[in-house]
Amino acid sequence: MQNSIIHIHYYHSPIGELVLGDYIDQLCLCDWRYRKMRNEVDARILKGLQAEFVENVTPLLTETQHQLQAYFDKKRTMFDLPLLLVGTDFQQTVWKALQQIEYGKTQTYMGLSKQLNNPKAIRAVASANGANAISIIIPCHRIIGSNQELVGYAGGISAKKKLLALEQGNQLELF
**Which residues are marked as active site?**
140
For strands 107-108 and 16-23, give the pairing.
unpaired
Number of H helices, E strands in the chain: 6, 6
Residue 9: closest CA among 23, 1, 43: 23
Q: Could you give the CA distance from residue 63 to residue 82 in angstroms, rounded to a whole number?
A: 11
Compute CA 24 distance to the chain's CA centroid, rounded to the nearest angstrom.
Answer: 19
CA dihedral 52, 57, 58, 59 (to 10 degrees): 160
Residue 29: closest CA among 132, 129, 155: 132
Backbone φ and ψ for 169, nearest 5 degrees, come out as 75, 20
